[in-house]
């Protein structure tokens, strides 16, 4: 029995150590951020605005509009499923931490939800802040599958040979104005077909949502580290399509988003250099369903309106402070 235990340990321990190696690095697991930074950012003594976070930064904030209105160099390093850990790692690894800079973060509610456990919903970088026990509790019987995916991701990143450092996406929006927009229009008729108690359109964000667990703790931990960087930091909670807001008002989906807004407000109140803009509970009537391509994301036209609304909020609340 002892020999069997030793053999099992010899096999398992190196495996666990390899999986936890990224804990001791600023590993990002998001090559897109590196490509964006290499394409759009050059060292400068001037202050810059950095927009980052998840897809509701990536597809909704147009840096060119911000630059034109604020006369400040702006880069958008938001990526799909880009959570707070990915953003923090990128800021540190690519030397974007300067007190003169302003950081604007899209932080959607899935980032603090323990039950967003499909392979894109919890970025691998996030797992590096969890103990092995916490990961087992989080994923249950899916733990080995997730760890296999993570191991494959690590090896793929380590042995990947970069053939280029520039992003080229579809119609060239990335290479021309640094923005990845999505075409398409949703409508009340489309939204009314969504089973709000099922798992369509990734409603597993909400079904059985647990927003008071290890992912919330990690979010708070990393926000503390970001605040300690000394940059002027603004978190925002995005709007949703009006018909979606109307359909979910007063039910569990609405309460999850409201609780998330309250959490973001509480976190921002802890730090003098962190502010929060709540576009969810204080959603502007200017937004129409035709400005969204699904319930949670603006299309290209909507992104123009939202970016201008974001700039208006920054100006009206005097949130742009340059050292």
Consecutive 10-residue runs of the chain (323 residues): their mean pLDDT? 66 65 58 78 84 94 94 91 90 86 95 70 78 82 76 67 42 55 92 81 69 90 95 96 95 93 97 96 90 95 96 94 59
pLDDT digits (tens, 9 = 90+) for 262-306: 999 999 999 999 999 999 998 888 999 999 999 999 999 999 999
pLDDT, residue 170, reads 39
Instruction: Look up the pTM and report it.
Output: 0.86
pLDDT digits (tens, 9 = 90+) for 48-85: 999 999 999 999 999 999 999 999 999 999 988 888 99
- Structural domains of the chain ordered from first start: 31-114+166-316 (3.40.50.1110)
**Could you tell me the end-to-end alpha-carbon distance of the chain, in angstroms, rounded to an integer?**
65
pLDDT, residue 171, reads 40
Angle CA 174–180–181, to nearest 5: 130
- The token pair at 56 is 């509701």
Write the DSSP assignment of 144-198 as a string of letters.
HHHHHHHHHHHHHHHS---S-SS---TTTHHHHHS---------HHHHHTS-TTS
pLDDT, residue 80, reads 86
């Amino acid at each position: 029995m002892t020999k069997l235990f030793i053999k099992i340990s010899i096999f398992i321990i190196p495996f666990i150590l390899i999986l936890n190696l990224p804990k001791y690095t600023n590993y990002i697991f998001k090559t897109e951020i590196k490509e964006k930074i290499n394409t759009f950012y050059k060292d400068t003594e001037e202050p810059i605005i950095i927009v980052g976070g998840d897809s509701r930064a990536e597809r909704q904030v147009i840096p060119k509009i911000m630059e034109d209105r604020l006369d400040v160099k702006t880069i958008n390093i938001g990526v799909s499923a880009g959570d707070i850990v990915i953003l923090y790692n990128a800021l540190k690894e690519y030397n974007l931490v300067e007190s003169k800079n302003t950081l604007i973060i899209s932080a959607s509610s899935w980032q603090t939800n323990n039950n967003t456990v499909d392979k894109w919903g919890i970025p691998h970088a996030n797992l590096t802040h969890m103990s092995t026990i916490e990961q087992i509790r989080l994923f249950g019987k899916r733990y080995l599958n997730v760890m296999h995916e993570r191991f494959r991701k690590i090896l793929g990143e380590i042995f990947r040979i970069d053939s280029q450092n520039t992003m080229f996406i579809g119609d060239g929006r990335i290479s021309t104005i640094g923005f990845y927009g999505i075409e398409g229009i949703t409508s009340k008729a489309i939204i009314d077909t969504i089973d709000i108690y099922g798992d369509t359109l990734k409603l597993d964000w909400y079904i059985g949502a647990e927003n008071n667990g290890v992912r919330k703790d990690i979010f708070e931990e990393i926000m503390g580290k970001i605040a300690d960087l000394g940059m002027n930091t603004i978190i925002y909670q995005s709007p949703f399509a009006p018909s979606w807001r109307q359909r979910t008002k007063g039910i569990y989906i609405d309460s999850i988003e409201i609780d998330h807004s309250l959490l973001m407000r509480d976190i921002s109140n802890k730090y003098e250099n962190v502010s929060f803009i709540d576009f969810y509970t204080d959603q502007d009537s200017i937004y129409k369903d035709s400005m969204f391509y699904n319930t949670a994301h603006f299309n290209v036209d909507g992104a123009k309106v939202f970016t201008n609304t974001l700039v208006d909020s920054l100006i009206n609340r005097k949130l742009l402070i340059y050292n």
